[in-house]
Amino acid sequence: MSLVITGATLADGTVADLAVADGVFVPAADAPAGAERFDAAGLIALPGLVDLHTHLREPGHEDAETVESGTRAAARGGFTAVFAMPNLDPATDTAEAAAYVAELGRRDGHCEVVPIGAVTKGRDGVELAELGLMAGQGVRVFSDDGACVHDSLIMRRALTYLRPFDGVVAQHAQDPRLAGPGACCHESEISGRLGLPGWPTVAESTIIARDVQLAEFTGGRYHACHLSTAESVEVIRWAKARGKADVTAEVTPHHLLLDTPHVESFDTTYKVNPPLRTSEHLEAVREGLADGTIDIVGTDHAPHTQQDKDHPFDVASPGMLGLEEALAVVMEVMVNTGRLDWTGVADRMSVAPARIGRLRHQGRPLAVGEPAHLVLVDPSRRSTVDKHRSASKARNNPYHGLDLPDPVELTVWGGRITFRR
């Protein structure tokens, strides 16, 4: 199909007409006669968003999410590519499992689905998974997400072994002794008062401090997932200042917006790992995202059935939705406060995640000859989030009832409209 988008404002502020034919941008003059026309006056055109951190639940937990429903939510959120975390059933810890996830994406996806491989077999942190064979299937991101690669030696080996494959270890930083399986609330006055097992900030930052030194020592590529603490931001800043390690970092929308007091009523919607932190940590991750210490926003979109959330707080499944509201949250917290401009948004949510994931055809400029992945954004529209109006099968939406930007007007993936308001 073909498309002409007129009067769109690009991230750098220039106004342009964008024409799409056969999945790539073409000169506006070359647009086919029958092309659909879309008036984008007042709208901002960004490269299609890329999420380095998505849980799609298929195969294994299709009652919570499928590739079809998850990627439809992604398209509604402006995403044209998602990286699928390997905590599936079976876990993505073999080349075959990775190929299957990619195949599901080609079959059902409303955006590109890129499998992430597990670092260790069964994600249990003991033995390396078949990293090279998975790399042969195009996997470049490896993670035991949900579990930490806590063993220093395994982390060293993974970083070293992946060098020839240009792979990156995406770490879920959680010292399992400092923050055990029951840990579920930011260790603070609130955890003390509610009697919830504490998840101290140092359980994250000490692992990252170790890992960035191992990355420097091994020369491997390291990515810190879902930074939640001021100390972690400082550690990443320090590692980047040394300039000797290939280190990147990520923050989730919920760690940018939501703070610990949300758990006061024991509402398990707000149970997430790492936990929601207090305002000084929110401030630190916002600052880190603004100054580039934190490279990307990753949603950690984690759908769960109501059944899995209807347990006591310390037992309920951790995680919350994020694909549909990620851009809204970044606008609210970063753009509308002047911390980040649209070029910055394009970088943190498209260009940088594509680069870290080595997804070379995404996160590209909106220029003639480039693949046509884009999202059109209305910078002023707002609405109240309604969890029941989600494309996701799950309803664990922590933004339900909040007044937030409602920006996505049109999502185009490879020249195809995957979402239109």
What kind and span of H or E run contains 132?
Answer: helix 131-136
* Angstrom distance (rounded) from CA 307 to CA 303: 12
Task: Work out which of 37, 107, 163, 193 binds another protein, going by CB under 8 A.
Answer: 193
What sections of 137-195 are H helices per DSSP? Answer: 152-161, 189-194
CA 153/CA 355 separation, integer angstroms: 27
Site for another protein in 253-282 (CB under 8 A): 265-266, 268
The correct pick among 116, 135, 194, 285 for binding another protein (CB under 8 A) is: 194
Nearest CA among 220, 221, 191, 224 for reference residue 207: 224
Which member of 211, 300, 308, 406 is catalytic?
A: 300
When asked if residue 216 is in the footprint of another protein (CB under 8 A), the reply is: no
198 binds another protein (CB under 8 A): yes
Lookup: tokens for 58:
């298929």
CB of 133 to another protein, least distance (A): 35
CB of 313 to another protein, least distance (A): 5
Segment 311-340, which members bind another protein (CB under 8 A)?
A: 311-315
Q: Which is nearer to another protein, 54 or 268 (CB)?
A: 268
Q: Does the footprint of another protein cover residue 181 (CB under 8 A)?
A: no
Among 191, 252, 299, 350, binds another protein (CB under 8 A): 191
- Residue count at the site for another protein (CB under 8 A)? 23
In the set 13, 60, 192, 365, which binds another protein (CB under 8 A)?
Answer: 192
Residues whose CB falls within 8 Å of the CB of residue 369, separated by 6 or more in sequence, listed in order? 24, 25
Does 190 interact with another protein (rule: CB under 8 A)? yes
Contact status: 89 vs another protein (CB under 8 A): no
Closest CB to another protein among 191 and 252? Answer: 191
Minimum CB distance to another protein smaller for 47 or for 318:
318
Q: How far apart are CA 252 and CA 377, in angstroms?
A: 20
Check residue 127 for interaction with another protein (CB under 8 A).
Answer: no
What is the footprint of another protein within residues 292-311 (CB under 8 A)? 307-308, 310-311
> Closer CB to another protein, residue 307 or residue 337?
307
Closest by CA position to 159, among listed 213, 121, 207, 209 = 213
- Supply 119's token pair: 């670092």
398 touches another protein by CB under 8 A: no
CA 340 to the chain's CA centroid: 18
CA distances from 241 to 212, 213, 236, 260 (A): 12, 13, 8, 30
- Near another protein by CB under 8 A, which window of 46-54, 58-66, 186-194, 222-230? 186-194
Q: How far is the CB of 178 from another protein (least distance, A)?
A: 12
Least Å from the CB of residue 267 to another protein? 8
Shortest distance, CB of residue 317 to another protein, whole angstroms? Answer: 11
Q: Cβ(57)–Cβ(90) under 8 Å? A: no
Residue with smaller CB distance to another protein, 191 or 248: 191
Tokens 């707002």 sit on residue: 382
Mapping DSSP onto H, E and C, the string for 319-384 reads: CECCCCCHHHHHHHHHHCCCCCCHHHHHHHHHHHHHHHCCCCCCCCCCCCCCECCEEEECCCCEEE
Rounded to the nearest whole angstrom, what is the least distance from the CB of residue 89 to another protein in the complex?
16
C-beta neighbour count of 154 within 10 angstroms: 17
Min dist CB 183 to another protein, Å, is 12
| 300 included as an active-site residue | yes
Q: Tokens for 244, please give them.
A: 């000797």
- Residue 196 within binding range of another protein, rule CB under 8 A: yes
Distance in angstroms (rounded) separating the CA atoms of residues 404 and 77: 13
* 222 within 8 A of 240, measured Cβ to Cβ: no
- The verdict on 195 binding another protein (CB under 8 A) reads yes
CB of 396 to another protein, least distance (A): 14
AA letter at 378:
D
Q: How far is CA 27 from CA 121, 228, 413, in A?
A: 49, 43, 18
- Choices 13-21, 136-144, 156-164, 182-190 (CB under 8 A): range interacting with another protein: 182-190
Q: Using the minimum distance from each CB to another protein, give the nearer residue, 307 or 383.
A: 307
Query: Please, how many CA atoms are within 13 Å of residue 18, restricted to the half-sphere of its CB?
Result: 32
* CB nearer another protein, residue 43 or residue 394: 394
**All residues at 6 or more sequence positions from 273 whose CB lies less than 8 Å from its CB, including other chains:** 146, 174, 184, 199, 318, 319
Interface ranges with another protein (CB under 8 A): 187-198, 265-266, 268, 307-308, 310-315
Which residue numbers are catalytic?
300
